[in-house]
Amino acid sequence: MGFPAQRPRRLRGSAVLRRLAAETRLHPASLIQPLFVVPGRNVEKEIPALPGQRYLSADRIGTAVARAVEAGIGGVILFGQPERKSADGQSAWDAKGPVQEALRAARREAGGALALISDVCLCAYLSHGHCGVVKGEGVDNDATLPILGRVACSHAEAGTDVVAPSDMMDGRVGAIRGALDGAGFQGAAILSYAAKYASAFYGPFREVADSAPEGFGREGYQMDPPNRAEAMREITLDIEEGADAVMVKPALAYLDVLREAATRFDAPLAAYNVSGEYAMVKATAARGWLDERRAALEILTSIRRAGASMIVTYWAVEAAGWLGGRRA
Ligand code: PBG
């Protein structure tokens, strides 16, 4: 039985029918907003490479968090910049560092109204911009692990709900889990950037975080774009080591990886709609070449359709507004 009895256009005939037949629904509670914390007081400054995003000092984070709560999004993820970068990245676990202060301020503001997530990486804190301790022409995996554990504990101490390691060292989820448990933070969850690719789409973020690596690229530790089976192996390892949720990053050029991960694993799955993906739409929309709102919602829907239950996106708060906010 085919045409003319079957006419798929019938269910596209009106907005109510399209809404009823939609297979994928985007909800504000799935969205996570990145926030960039910088040292100092009273700082609230536009980020040129990421139009619509701001650098905030810890004392200004409350307003952004209040907006996120009001929008009804699922969480915020904090990225930090230290006063000073150093050879050992010590400022990353400073109890009074910008991220740690911001976590406390965010908790005061949000209470339990959304999830507080904190990125755990050393790239913004080490002078050379790599995600771990550099030895010769590479990053020393095992020497980096205890430092990541320390950073995670300092975030847990400051009240984060979830630490999100983004460095791609082998064994870091196990090391962080061990460090957290050893320090009494059994309740702090780990969202691991399990399949993080060495991608050109982080371009704007590196300018923002001032974390472009010196000397050599990140290809020696982040994943190679051609590989999908390897992503499944990475996710398996991270789950075995104790990851509570896993992430694929970037999102758009890796929707196939996301889809396969969603069918294979029962762990909660996140995707990171990265800076370059956001900036491409912003730049194109600024020229009047596409409609930002429609493009953004289409992108976010595609990431949900591929199988992510959580999406980190620079549109989170804005998209929640488009979707109807807390009432959605
Ligand atoms: C830090 C980190 C990066 C991003 C998130 N965490 C940069 C990188 O790996 O170079 C990228 C986020 C984005 O591009 O939006 N390790």
In order along its 328 residues, the chain shows pLDDT tens digits of 899 999 999 999 999 999 999 999 999 999 999 999 999 999 999 999 999 999 999 999 999 999 999 999 999 999 999 999 998 899 999 999 999 999 999 999 999 999 999 999 999 999 998 999 898 888 999 999 999 999 999 999 999 999 999 999 999 999 999 999 999 999 999 999 999 999 999 999 988 877 788 888 899 999 999 999 999 999 999 999 999 999 999 999 999 999 999 999 999 999 999 999 999 999 999 999 999 999 999 999 999 999 999 999 999 999 999 998 666 6
Asked whether 181 and 153 are in contact (CB, 8 A), the reply is no
Tokens linked to 189: 């969850």
Probe residue for ligand 1, chosen from 117, 123, 151, 193 as the CB with the greatest number of ligand atoms within 8 Å: 123
- Position 119, amino acid: D
pLDDT recorded at residue 206: 87
What CA–CA distance (Å, rounded) separates 179 from 305?
A: 36
Ligand 1 center to residue 25 CA distance, Å? 27
The three-state DSSP-derived secondary structure of 67-105 is HHHHHCCCEEEEEECCCCCECCCHHHHCCCCHHHHHHHH
- Residue 126 DSSP one-character state: B
Query: Which ligand 1 atom sits closest to the C-alpha of 201?
Result: 14
All structural domains of the chain, each given as residue ranges with its CATH number in brackets, are 24-322 (3.20.20.70)
- Position 264, amino acid: R
Ligand 1 center to residue 206 CA distance, Å? 7
Sort 144 into a burial class: Cβ within 10 Å, 0-12 / 13-18 / 19+.
Answer: buried
Ligand 1 center to residue 12 CA distance, Å? 39
User: 3-class DSSP state for residue 37?
Assistant: strand
pLDDT recorded at residue 208: 84
Query: Which ligand 1 atom sits closest to the C-alpha of 213?
Result: 10
Residue of the nearest CA to atom 6 in ligand 1?
166
What CA–CA distance (Å, rounded) separates 12 from 20?
A: 10
Q: How far apart are the first and last CA of the chain?
A: 38
pLDDT recorded at residue 328: 63
- C-alpha distances in angstroms, 321 versus 14, 55, 71, 282, 303? 23, 21, 6, 18, 19
Residue of the nearest CA to atom 11 in ligand 1?
202
Asked whether 278 and 314 are in contact (CB, 8 A), the reply is yes
Asked whether 111 and 69 are in contact (CB, 8 A), the reply is no
Count CB-CB contacts under 10 A for residue 268. Answer: 15
pLDDT recorded at residue 326: 65
Task: Tell me the sheet residues that pair with 8.
Answer: none
Helices (H), the chain: 15-21, 61-71, 98-110, 141-157, 172-182, 203-209, 229-241, 255-264, 275-286, 292-306, 316-323
Ligand 1 center to residue 202 CA distance, Å? 6
Asked whether 119 and 200 are in contact (CB, 8 A), the reply is no
How many Cα atoms occupy the beta-carbon half-sphere of 238 within 13 Å?
33
Query: Which ligand 1 atom sits closest to the C-alpha of 202?
Result: 14
Ligand 1 center to residue 92 CA distance, Å? 16
Is 196 one of the catalytic residues? yes
Query: Which ligand 1 atom sits closest to the C-alpha of 34?
Result: 15
- C-alpha distances in angstroms, 128 versus 65, 103, 210, 212? 31, 26, 10, 8
pTM: 0.97
Tokens linked to 103: 């976590």
Ligand 1 contacts (CB < 6 A) are 119, 121, 123, 131, 166, 202, 205-206, 274-275
